[in-house]
Amino acid sequence: MKSILREPLVHFLLIGAALFIAFAFADNPVDKESDRIVVTQGKIEFLTANFKRTWQRQPTGSELEGLTNGYVRDEILYREALALGLDRDDPYIRMRLKQKLEFMSDDLAGVVTPLDEQLNLYMTNHPEDFRQEFQVAFRHVYLNADQQESMSIDRATKLIQHLSDEKSTTDPDTMGDSLMLPKVFDLSSESEIARLFGRPFSRELLHITPGTWTGPIRSGYGLHLVLVSEKVAGRLPELDEVREIVERDWFSTRKKEHRESIYNSLREKYTVVFEADAGEKKAFTVISEAQAAGEKRK
């Protein structure tokens, strides 16, 4: 007997019987039209358009018949699954339905086209998201700091004097030690410089007067003698310069706010009860802030 119960065929038959009984005794859906499937012309056109988008051609008669039969099959199985309650307590279905509701909310939030006044206000309230960083163009002479500190400083002082000598014809690129970084940098943002040399080095550059060799300035690599050739102060750009970015961020924020607004409105309809330990037979209710405020007003 035990060996028979282990047979896959027996398992298949038992499962089939269980499903048959479930379908037979499941409550019929409330909808009186639940046993009637209408394949509208609009649905046929939708199936045709999907086929054409995928295969870049119109479906043949037999292919369209197959698409229609497939839709009917899906609809029947979907309705019977709902009748059996197979959608209940399924985390994937719950997540998908939640996402669809949020997508609907996002679509509603995206209907509005923002005015320039709204975008300018958004930029003013979020300046760090759009502010253009301080930029610096410079060249540097690197000094390996492995030797004693006093020797490194003394060497740097002599090189500064040599570099500052207007009569000197020595190419700065031939001076100092080798480093696997460019010797000359065009206008670069503070964050780009900080990524290569470290934040303390990039901040030092902000205070250097262009046109004068300065140093030594320490980085994670060692010491540097620096000649700043150009500086561009950070600023909040005009709207037309960054309109696309501002609109994208504005819509993103609006969608989040719209989702939260809809949720808060729906939340007021519900009372959430957290059941305590069964042995204690207690329960407490979590009331939304809106409900609590309403009770206070009363």
- Tens of pLDDT along the chain (298 residues) come to 545 445 544 444 454 455 445 444 444 444 545 688 999 999 999 999 999 999 999 999 999 999 999 999 999 998 998 888 888 888 898 898 888 888 887 777 666 788 999 999 999 999 888 988 899 999 999 988 776 666 777 888 888 888 887 777 778 888 888 899 999 999 999 999 999 999 999 999 988 999 999 988 999 898 999 999 999 988 888 898 899 999 999 999 988 988 898 888 888 888 878 776 544 544 444 444 445 555 555 4
* Last-in-domain residue among 202, 232, 262: 232
Closest CA to 96 of 84, 87, 83, 85: 87
Q: Which domain holds residue 76?
A: 26-88
Under 8 Å between Cβ of 223 and 156: yes
Q: List pLDDT tens digits, range 48-77.
A: 999 999 999 999 999 999 999 999 999 999
| Contact (CB, 8 A) for 268 and 290 | yes
Instruction: Please state the domain count of the chain.
Output: 2
pLDDT at 149: 62
| 267 inside domain | no
**Model confidence over 172-210: pLDDT tens digits?**
888 888 899 999 999 999 999 999 999 999 999 988 999
Q: Is residue 238 part of a domain?
A: no
Residues 83 and 137 in one domain: no
> Residue 54: inside a domain, yes or no?
yes
Partners of 273 in the beta sheet?
A: 285
Instruction: Please report whether residue 96 resides in a domain.
Output: no
**44 domain residue, yes or no:** yes
The conformation of residue 27, written as its DSSP 8-state character, comes to: P
Amino acid 19: pLDDT: 45
Residue 179: give its domain's CATH number: 3.10.50.40
Does any domain span residue 205?
yes
**97 found inside a domain:** no
DSSP string, 201-257: HHHHHTTPPTTSEEEEEE-SSEEEEEEEEEEE--B---GGGSHHHHHHHHHHHHHHH
Residues 161 and 227 in one domain: yes
Output the pLDDT for position 247. 92
Is 126 among the domain residues?
no
